[in-house]
Amino acid sequence: MNGESSQSLSRTTKDILNRHGIKLNRNLGQNYLIDKNKRDQIIEFGDLNKDDVVLEIGTGIGTLTLELARKAGKVIAIEQDTNIANILKERLEKEKIDNVELINDDALNVDFPSFNKIVSNLPYQISSPITFKFLDYDFDLAILMYQKEFARRMNGTVGSKDYSRLSAMLYFKCDVSTLTDVSSESFIPKPKIDSTVVRLTPKENRISDDDFRVYSNYTKALFQHRNKKIRNALIDSRHVICSLDKKEMKEKINNIKSDELKEYLKLRVIAIKPEEILFLSKELNSILSE
């Protein structure tokens, strides 16, 4: 926490939680930001104006929500915990803020209303699935806070320990920029690891939706076995990419004529670049669908 302003946010947060008898559960990702300087910095990163419709996932009691609403045209705020959502509703009414659409539901199970920006301190336990869900939507900019380790994997380079399905999936969709780290001391309850705020900026020249769908399936299949050779990884995760049984798939792969494809199949998953996964997925999808 930094200075009087941070202490004020901390005190306000604790007072609200105590008044409503709320005990936060870190196992549910309920880590609330109490550093006003970091809160304000995150909002500034969003570069908001009254034309923006902002999506916020995991609003908590509104630490970001209230300030987002003052800068944006509208905020779509999604909070799964009914008690917490009711506290936020009460705060919005008290502050006479009427440009927030509050949705009390699981963000993974709802269709998002139209928006153009995302600004969220995400619940850590849904970081991966909610990020993949974001990729199904068109947006201008996303400012998101993740656990530091997760943020590193978003930009994992080929062959490194951070190279993952996550980094491969983001590669064709967004540029990922690290903006600032946030100490674990900036939250209640205090998490075990520091956090990182990142910016996702959608790429203009993205691959087609059909190609990405195939690429996504192959990426999922491959990274379930990231240290195996590609041939074995795909056979072991064949249910993700096709309806062939093990014997049928082995026969198809053994009958491949292309020397280039044969060489790729000998590589380990962590050694193959996203562009090569795309090539491999398109070629093999045709072969395995015959």
Residue 259 pLDDT exceeds 60: yes
CB 48 within 8 A of CB 54: yes
Token pair of 210, please? Answer: 């059909």
pLDDT, tens only, 33-90: 999 999 999 999 999 999 999 999 999 999 999 999 999 999 999 999 999 999 999 9
Average pLDDT, the chain: 93
CB 132 within 8 A of CB 110: no
Judge residue 72's burial from the number of C-beta atoms within 10 Å of its C-beta, 0-12 exposed, 13-18 middle, 19 or more buried.
buried
Residue 2 pLDDT exceeds 70: no
Q: Write down all domains in the chain, each with its CATH number in brackets.
A: 3-202 (3.40.50.150), 209-288 (1.10.8.100)
Average pLDDT over residues 100-124: 97
Instruction: Examine residue 189 and say whether the peptide bond preceding it is cis (omega within 30 degrees of 0).
Output: yes
pTM (2 decimals)? 0.90
The larger pLDDT score, comparing residue 177 to residue 2, is at 177
